[in-house]
Structure 1
Amino acid sequence: MDVSELPGFYAIAAADPGRLAVIDTDDTRVTYGDLLARVNQVSHGLRARGLVTGDVVAGVLPNGVDALVMVMATGQIGLYYVPINWHLTGSEIAYILGDCDAKVVVTGPDQAVPGAETGTAGLAEGQPSDAPAGRTSGAVMWYTSGTTGFPKGVQRGLPGAEPEAIVPLYTWFFGEVVDLRPGAEVHLVTSPMYHSAPCAHAQFALHLGHTVVITPRFDPVHILELVERHRVSNAMMVPTMFHRMLQLPADVRAKYDVSSLRQVIHTAAACPVSVKQQIMDWWGPVLYEYYGSTESTIAFSVKPHDWLARPGTVGRPAPTFEAKIFDDDGAELPPGEPGMIYVKSSMGSFEYRKDPAKTAASKRGDWYAPGDIGYLDEDGYLFLCDRRTDLIVSGGVNIYPAEIEAALLEHPAVADVAVIGVPDEEWGHNVVALVQPAEGLEPGPELTAELLEHCGPRIARFKHPKVIEYREALPRTPTGKLSRSKVRADYLAGNTSSSL
């Protein structure tokens, strides 16, 4: 059936119930009709527990069909849904549940949360499978990572209209940004769905009539196997995944047919130019990038050929967005000059739940600052420098860790790297690189000398690490974000390492 004229998942499932919706982590197949029936039952079950428009439901769920059911069930009865990282400690989960005022909590079988429902079966049991009355759009409320204090919920106003009136705007937006279209496509989930981008892409894959293939965790060979087996046409990944893919032996990479890929979208962290170029040399010009934040959503985007013409850019403002670069005094900067990035959109604003002061502090009028430093070129393409909080000032000069990390990652001996600034009496800060060597490599003075020599033609000498130390692993989130604050804290606390 041609789904191009149907306004989203609920309408597609009703019109074409036999269409394949999900291939779950255990290879179970779920049709659109069966998925809609479970979604409707859970919607009725939530209402039976007394929830009304504007109430909050939380999910502490692993990747799987239940995670999709909760997004779609809350999304048609006007509820806020809060996905929670199941790797958090009990006290961290309890804080979020208390802050968001969740009235119902759904967990996976391995997550112990007092008073929670295990899975969606209990909510669905005995409930009708037809659509609930008075359908109205809900929203996902994401909690920020909390790198500076407790996490905060990013809350947007509910639209007050049924999903079929709202979804077409968002599917149009995805089409404009990353060329995703309705039809018989296959989307691969590679990251935890408690993060915003993986969850949103899985959700909108269903709104576009695609089949969603779900993986429990990222494994480079398994991902290639799934792409070949299911003829995956689109996926969402992060740069660390690309790096791990490129570390596979050439004969392993050559074994798998990836010709079905048309859109591989990446976000969440800066992607070194060489890594992105190598992936496109392998997969073809299929990498789509966007930049934003939980608060701003997708603010900038760039398609493959535009990126190849301007390597390193994260794109121009996405539809409905405007962007400006300001200095510390609030003056707008001209093209080419780095400063704080600010964006605004006509698609609506946000507030931090229960924290109007934090909401106000993050904005300059209608303009919001994601917290990154960058510059616009003459054509309006944005180039990122780094996070404001990660900027290293050494000898009065601004140094961006991401640039040094990108240079070091080009060396085959480097599996991962974090660059931090460490206080120094003379220079203010020194540049320190913490390197995770590639598997099977023993670090030593020779490797250190080789890495410093490697930096020579790539970055200016004042950016070279003063110290290189080696680590067995570096703290990254499952979506690939490096926690430089944790790296820095561990380093300053004097954790055991081999310093060279």
Structure 2
Amino acid sequence: MQSPLIDLFRAVADAVPDRECLVHRSVRRTYAETRDRVERLGRVLTAHGLGVRRERGELRGHESGQDHVALFLHNGHEYAEGTFGAFAARTVPFNVNYRYTAYELKHLLRDAAPAAIIYHAAFAETLAQVLPALPRRPLLLQVADDTAPRLLPGALDYETALAEAPTAVTLPVPSPDDLYMVYTGGTTGMPKGVLWRQGDVWTALLGGWQRPGIDSPANLVKHLLDTPEGQRFLGIAPFMHGAGWWYLIRAMTGGDTMVVPDVVHRLDAADVCRTVERERLDTLPLVAEAFARPLADELERGTYDMSRVRAVVSGGGPLAAETKRRILAALPHAEVADSAGSSETGGIIRGWSTAAQGVGEDAVFTPLPRACVVDEELTRVLEPGHEHAGWLAARAPVPLGYLGDPGKSASTFVTVQGERVALPGDLAHLRADGQLVLHGRASMVINSGGEKIYAEEVERALLNQPHVRDALVVGRPSPRWGQEVVALVQLDGPGEGTGDTVLREAAAERLARYKLPKAFLRVPAIRRSPAGKADYAWARALAEKDAEGQATPRAEAEPEAGS
């Protein structure tokens, strides 16, 4: 369905105005109420001069002709309003990881060059450190929260701005070519903005392929009027991540209800279960083991009425078989689905597990319609039963490119046999029976708790320390996080600056805490080839041997998922 996302939301709000759109704590807003606030925010942005600078037809794939709006927010009403309010003004919302340090945030915002930033007050101090380094001063909209700091200089209070939104402003007519941008990490560890046409989002990111009869806003309205109630989603997956954001957008363009638990700055499994029970939710999107394992623990500890739950959906990494068994034991009437993909592809493979059918084979998925495997030379699409592993790829629709990076755009979005495909960087094998075996990332990406952590970025943070002569960073299996970060370090010698705590805290000046090594292994020398190429296989073997021989050393408690 080639429609701007704001048109789909408006159609839903007109069709089911009294249906609940989003619930968080004591605030319950209907579609009509949410639409009013979305339109107000759109008028605020438009009144401040934000909008389209150059139409899509004048631009190359890695270019944007629209102003960008940063969403530096916890899950809540403001994330929904910021997303669709930006669409209403024909600006481009983008996600900001609220775990970032000022150092990381500066790189992201300099890359994205936002014309406006909507942020929770809790992040005001970090943002204030970064603003002087930006190429221009953006419009600042500060959302009040429990921290209650003063407004940053020049900032507008979010609620006051909406209440005083000018009524005389006419919102622009949107286009299917308007952009939707989701930030992900680049191969160097620096974030990259993936540019999608809004007209392609319904099919690629929102599961439109499952609803072929809904091919226009009019048919969407007909479907809604024939459906007595929508799905009720748990809003626990952080909206700042692609998969969580897509579920929010899917709910708001499908007439569904999104319910955010009371606790948003960390994972509180008891709060999650109480929310599911109280709100009678039926669909629970999670982020890999970091969310699924604590949920399984709480389900086994407590007594909750989960009879309405029909689906538990994991993104950000496959679930362990034992975790799926535990969830199905607690929720025997539900289905557990593993969905895999990336910001460049959307979900393109999925595995299903039920109490009756069991959990199936590890790392074996059903390819969805856009998934394919291409040979390693990128010359052809492979048929089922091919001999060697190839690259997992997504067929059209695919993104236009990465913001400001024509080189990386050209290497990720390639043409194979006349067809443009996206390569997320995973190696895979399509079996003769049509099932897909996922071998994993070819690049050195560590997937920990649903977060993608780039080894080179962590290595750089360690090598900046005076006592570290050389370092390699690898991931090793973790029952809680899927993978955990382990650093092998070659030190100049023992000293006050070489303890785990000192190394970790020094790295924390440049890295969000979820990226910090869970363990440090000291080695006499880092093994490299004569050309200086690191021996990562050797490093992984040492890290895994250390895990087998002793409990992983910790200098601090592991942070909660979502914190």
Class of the TM-score when normalised by the shorter of the 2 chains:
0.7 to 0.9
Which residue of 2 is the match for residue 289 of structure 1? 338
Q: 2:122 aligns with which of 82, 89, 110?
A: 110
C-alpha distance in structure 2 between counterparts of 1:77 and 1:248, whole Å: 43
Deviation at 1:98, TM superposition (A): 2.2
1:290 match: secondary structure: strand
Distance 1:106 1:421, change over 3 A: closer
Contact map agreement 2:51 2:67 (CA 8 A) in 1: yes
User: What amino acid is aligned across from residue 311 of structure 2 in structure 1?
Assistant: Q
C-alpha distance in structure 1 between counterparts of 2:268 and 2:240, whole Å: 18
**Stretch of structure 1 that moved more, 103-112 or 369-378:** 369-378
**Stretch of structure 1 that moved more, 201-210 or 60-69:** 201-210
After superposition, what is the alpha-carbon deviation per residue over 1:69-118, rounded to whole angstroms, capped at 9, x for unaligned?
Answer: 01111223432111111221223223222222211111111222345221
C-alpha distance in structure 2 between counterparts of 1:271 and 1:89, whole Å: 29
1:367 match: secondary structure: strand
Q: 2:362 aligns with which of 312, 327, 347?
A: 312
Matches within 5 A, 1:4-403: 8-24=8-24, 26-53=25-52, 54-112=66-124, 113=127, 114=131, 115=138, 116-119=140-143, 120-124=158-162, 125-128=164-167, 132-137=171-176, 138-146=178-186, 148-159=188-199, 170=206, 172-173=208-209, 183-215=229-261, 216=264, 217-240=266-289, 241-248=291-298, 250-252=300-302, 255-284=303-332, 285-304=334-353, 308=358, 310-313=360-363, 315-319=365-369, 321-327=370-376, 335=385, 339-365=389-415, 366-390=420-444
Distance 1:390 1:279, change over 3 A: farther
2:407 match: secondary structure: helix
**Stretch of structure 1 that moved more, 180-189 or 44-53:** 180-189
- The unaligned stretches of length 5 or more in structure 1 are 1-6, 393-400, 436-447, 452-464, 481-500
Contact map agreement 2:396 2:421 (CA 8 A) in 1: no
C-alpha distance in structure 1 between counterparts of 2:395 and 2:192, whole Å: 21
Contact map agreement 1:325 1:374 (CA 8 A) in 2: no
C-alpha distance in structure 2 between counterparts of 1:238 and 1:131, whole Å: 40
User: What amino acid is aligned across from residue 23 of structure 1 in structure 2?
Assistant: V
Deviation at 1:313, TM superposition (A): 4.3
After superposition, what is the alpha-carbon deviation per residue over 1:348-405, rounded to whole angstroms, capped at 9, x for unaligned?
Answer: 333011111111222442333212233222222222233223499xxxxxxxx99x73
Deviation at 1:341, TM superposition (A): 2.4
C-alpha distance in structure 1 between counterparts of 2:445 and 2:207, whole Å: 36
1:260 match: secondary structure: coil
User: What amino acid is aligned across from residue 99 of structure 1 in structure 2?
Assistant: D
Distance 1:330 1:86, change over 3 A: same
C-alpha distance in structure 1 between counterparts of 2:377 and 2:174, whole Å: 46
Identity of aligned residues (%): 21
User: What amino acid is aligned across from residue 431 of structure 1 in structure 2?
Assistant: A
Deviation at 1:286, TM superposition (A): 1.5
Contact map agreement 1:100 1:153 (CA 8 A) in 2: yes
Which residue of 2 is the match for residue 431 of structure 1? 541
TM-score, with normalisation over the residues of structure 1?
0.73
Contact map agreement 1:322 1:344 (CA 8 A) in 2: yes
C-alpha distance in structure 2 between counterparts of 1:339 and 1:46, whole Å: 48
**Stretch of structure 1 that moved more, 256-265 or 272-281:** 272-281
User: What amino acid is aligned across from residue 167 of structure 2 in structure 1?
Assistant: P
1:431 match: secondary structure: helix
Contact map agreement 1:421 1:432 (CA 8 A) in 2: no
Contact map agreement 2:38 2:88 (CA 8 A) in 1: no
After superposition, what is the alpha-carbon deviation per residue over 1:9-68, rounded to whole angstroms, capped at 9, x for unaligned?
Answer: 3223223332222211x3211121111000011111111111223221112111110110
User: What amino acid is aligned across from residue 271 of structure 2 in structure 1?
Assistant: H
Distance 1:367 1:256, change over 3 A: same
- The unaligned stretches of length 5 or more in structure 2 are 1-6, 53-65, 132-137, 144-157, 213-222, 447-473, 489-525, 529-534
**Larger RCO (alpha carbons 8 Å, 6+ apart):** 2
1:134 match: secondary structure: coil
Deviation at 1:169, TM superposition (A): 9.7
C-alpha distance in structure 1 between counterparts of 2:183 and 2:246, whole Å: 14
Distance 1:476 1:296, change over 3 A: farther
1:30 match: secondary structure: strand
User: What amino acid is aligned across from residue 28 of structure 1 in structure 2?
Assistant: V
Contact map agreement 1:83 1:194 (CA 8 A) in 2: yes
C-alpha distance in structure 2 between counterparts of 1:338 and 1:280, whole Å: 35
Distance 1:149 1:415, change over 3 A: closer
1:204 match: secondary structure: helix
